[in-house]
């Protein structure tokens, strides 16, 4: 399934690199960082799990990081950084599901992550574990509904409670913008497939 998915993604204009471990994915991701470039972020547990989020926050090579996750910033600043990230030189994110037929399937709350995957940033670096692979487009949307969205709802509500707020996240505000992408301009999107289970 992995090799078939890779071949079909490549037919659709995506560059695909398969690695064995999250640490190889981390080392590979670092090679896409160039001195002084701007970098945007899409919400991704996978990017965090491979250690890339922490690394980007150190702003290596003098990069400009549009980091909406920085503690202490206002919601207005958070939103502005999401907007800025959509015009970055490099956008780093994950994916909810990748079909064997070569499509990217995603749902989003605010929409910046799915929008950036479609258009905006000059280069898209997408990192996904093999648990994101599904046979069909329908299976991709089903995975979002039963796995990815539910885990995000639980995560965000737990975070709200931890901060002393009322849990307010549900299906309507976690996953209300959907996209599937079955092609891109060759060279724009690089997909790193990791032979591990990563993210939601």
pLDDT in tens, 33-77: 999 999 999 989 999 999 999 999 999 999 999 999 898 999 899
- The mean pLDDT of 5-13, rounded to a whole number, is 98
pLDDT at 125: 98
- What is the maximal distance between C-alpha atoms in the chain? 48
Q: Any idea what the Cα angle at residue 77 is, between residues 126 and 32, rounded to 5°?
A: 25
Token pair recorded at residue 167: 């849990």
What's the mean pLDDT in 176-184? Answer: 92
Place of tokens 């970055």: 88
CB 120 within 8 A of CB 161: no
Computed over its alpha carbons, how large is the radius of gyration of the chain? 16
Lowest average pLDDT, out of 89-93, 173-177, 179-183, goes to 173-177
Q: How far apart (Å, rounded) are the C-alpha atoms in residues 194 and 17?
A: 9
Q: Binning pLDDT at 50, 70 and 90, where does residue 171 land? A: low
When pLDDT is averaged across residues 19-29 and rounded to a whole number, the result is 98
Is 2-194 assigned to CATH 3.20.10.10?
no
Long-range contacts of 52-55 (CB under 8 A, 24+ apart): 52/25, 52/26, 52/92, 52/127, 55/26, 55/30
Measured between alpha carbons, how far is 43 from 65 in angstroms, rounded to an integer? 14
pTM: 0.92
Confidence at 99, pLDDT banded by 50, 70, 90: very high
């Amino acid at each position: 399934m992995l090799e078939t998915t890779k071949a079909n993604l490549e037919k659709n204009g995506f560059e695909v690199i398969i690695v064995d471990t999250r640490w190889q994915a981390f080392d590979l991701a670092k090679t896409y960082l160039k001195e002084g470039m701007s970098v945007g972020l899409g919400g991704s547990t996978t990017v965090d799990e491979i250690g890339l989020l922490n690394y980007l926050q150190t702003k290596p090579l003098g990069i400009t990081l549009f980091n909406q996750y920085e503690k202490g910033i206002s919601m207005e600043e958070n939103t502005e950084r999401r907007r800025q990230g959509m015009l970055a030189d490099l956008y780093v994110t994950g994916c909810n599901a990748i079909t064997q037929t070569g499509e990217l399937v995603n749902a989003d709350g605010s929409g910046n992550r799915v929008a950036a995957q479609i258009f905006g940033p000059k280069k898209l670096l997408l990192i996904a574990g093999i648990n994101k692979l599904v046979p069909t487009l329908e299976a991709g949307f089903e995975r979002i509904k039963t796995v990815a969205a539910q885990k995000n709802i639980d995560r965000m509500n737990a975070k709200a409670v931890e901060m002393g707020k009322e849990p307010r996240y549900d299906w309507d505000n976690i996953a209300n913008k959907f996209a599937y992408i079955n092609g891109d301009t060759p060279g724009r999107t690089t997909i790193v497939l990791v032979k591990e289970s990563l993210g939601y």
